[in-house]
Amino acid sequence: MAAPPPLTDPVTDPQAGPTNGDLSRMTYGNDDFVPIILGTNVNTYNVARSLHEAFGVRSLALGRYPLRETAHSRIVDVRTSRDLDSPEVLVRTLLALAEELPGRTRILIPNIELYATILLEHRAELEEHFVIPLVDADLAARLMNKSSFARICAELGVPHPATVVVTPTTPRDAALGADLPFPYPVVVKPADTDTYPRLRFEGKQKVYVVADAAELRAVADRVYAAGYTDDLVVQELIPGDETVMRVANAYCDRDGRMRVLSVGQVALAEWDPRWAGNYNAILTVEDPGLTESIRRLLDGLGYVGFANLDVMVDRRDGTSKILEVNLRLGACSHYAMAAGANLPRCLVDDVVHGKEVPELTTTAERLWVNLPYLAALAFVPGSLRRRVVAAARHGVRHTLYYRPDLSLARILDVVRIDLRHTLDYLRYARTRLNR
């Protein structure tokens, strides 16, 4: 077997960017397990922090590039290789890592779809050496494809936005989009969330909101001309600002039972259209109807592992409608910790220690932010401001501010990240005022 390409040395690679220096030679995990996180973003820090709070362990993260969110950290060490998006390279690297870290349970935790997809495709080669807390490949394919996910929701009676599917062979003539069963504007998004993010083209967005049939045809032409080869999902637009956006993160045990769930009310969404669908302030909330829908969906599928669900509340009938399920924790899932749910701990207790994970649905209203609290308060919708202030009285949870991990270098990194987020909101605030 060929050796994997070397992971960058944070000290000698001048192009590696901010990293963790000579901490890379320190111990990972404990006597029972080693957490190996695939990705180097804020969600990686979320998982590493949650595991450190629960077990006092240090995690190892692998990714293509070092990012400030995980730089200069005592609780997570980052190793990078710019070819790690290659399935062959990632598998070789992981097999070499299994030899480097013998004798303990090695848990692979993918934090982006690309790595989850590679693990599913190469599970047979890897599962002898690693615990891979993902559903089987067939169910993953059904869930990750937005058109088949809509059918799953219909079969299980789970509320979901009304949907029409455009295929690559659908004629893109004047008839396309002229007779939708719901009014414009509508939402258009790719069904395949694995290949689409890798495409590069002008005007690319994660999600498109189109005003009429002509714009729908233009978006379809642009996306398919860029090399996309799967379905486009056209959905009814559920009107409203952040106040109708919710997110849920869950853990389902190895027997396919949902054990822990935390629902969040989005208080501040990302305003940069390139990052539509990301959130920077969340209130944990109680939503019994949504909880029951998620349980019906996940238990009905025998789902295992982490699940991240995007949700919209339809004010027309008060129904919380599930838009999609991701096979990982969401980038903002640290909000669950604010309400007392440590989802990464559930994974370790379940698959390493063989413990029964106690059933928990968070109900307390608590606040998580991904930028300074005062900046979040300045930009949240006025109708949510009072609730944000009330929740903040119990404390404000910021993923990156973790007292045991605040060296001077790390504090400077986090301040830079917070400043960048704040300046982005100021820039787009001017754009919104000029509309």
Q: Compute the average pLDDT of residues 138-161.
A: 91
Cα distances (angstroms) measured from residue 71 to each of 58, 319, 417: 14, 41, 11
- Return the SS3 of 427: helix
Above 80 in pLDDT, residue 20? no
Place of tokens 């001017």: 430
What amino acid is encoded at 177 in this protein?
G
Place of tokens 């019994």: 288
Query: How large is the average pLDDT for residues 146-150?
Result: 86
More confident residue, 12 or 112: 112
- Predicted confidence band of residue 15 (pLDDT cuts 50, 70, 90): very low
* Angle 383-276-412 from CA coordinates, rounded to 5°: 85
* 270-334-146 Cα angle (round to 5): 60
Task: Look at residue 357 and tell me whether its pLDDT is greater than 60.
Answer: yes
Kindly indicate the confidence band of residue 353, based on its pLDDT and cuts at 50, 70 and 90.
Answer: very high
Q: How many CB atoms lie within 10 A of CB 27?
A: 10
Angstrom distance (rounded) from CA 100 to CA 89? 16
Note whether 131 and 304 are within 8 A (CB): no
Domains of the chain as residue ranges with CATH: 21-132 (3.40.50.720), 162-236 (3.30.1490), 242-399 (3.30.470.20)
Note whether 70 and 424 are within 8 A (CB): no
Across the chain, mean pLDDT equals 90
Angle (nearest 5°) at CA 227 between 224 and 232: 40
Q: What is the pLDDT of residue 377?
A: 95
pLDDT of 271 over the 90 cut: no
193 or 250, greater pLDDT? 250
What does the pLDDT look like over 211-223, one tens digit per residue? Answer: 999 999 999 999 9
Pick the range with the lowest mean pLDDT from 46-60, 245-259, 273-287, 331-345. Answer: 273-287
Give the pLDDT mean for 193-212: 87
The per-residue pLDDT for 152 is 95
- Residue 279 near residue 371 (C-beta atoms within 8 A): no
Segment 180-198, tens digit of pLDDT: 999 999 999 898 877 888 8
pLDDT for 19 equals: 39
209 Rama class: left (phi>0) / alpha (psi -120 to 50) / beta? beta
Residue 202 carries which side chain, given as an amino acid letter? E
Beta-ladder partners of 319: 314
Residue with tokens 């030679």: 25
Read off the pTM: 0.86
3-state secondary structure at position 306: strand
CA distance linking residue 110 with residue 5, whole number of Å:
20
E strands, 347-418, where?
Answer: 360-361, 367-369, 396-398
Edge-to-edge strands, sheet with 33-38:
76-80, 59-63, 33-38, 105-110
Across residues 39-59, what is the average pLDDT? Answer: 96
Query: What percent of the chain clears pLDDT 70, i.e. is strictly above it?
Result: 92
User: Strand, coil or helix: what is 68?
Assistant: helix
Query: Each residue of 62-86: pLDDT tens digit?
Result: 999 999 999 999 999 999 999 999 9
- Residue 52 reports pLDDT greater than 70: yes
Cross-strand bridge partners of residue 166: 232
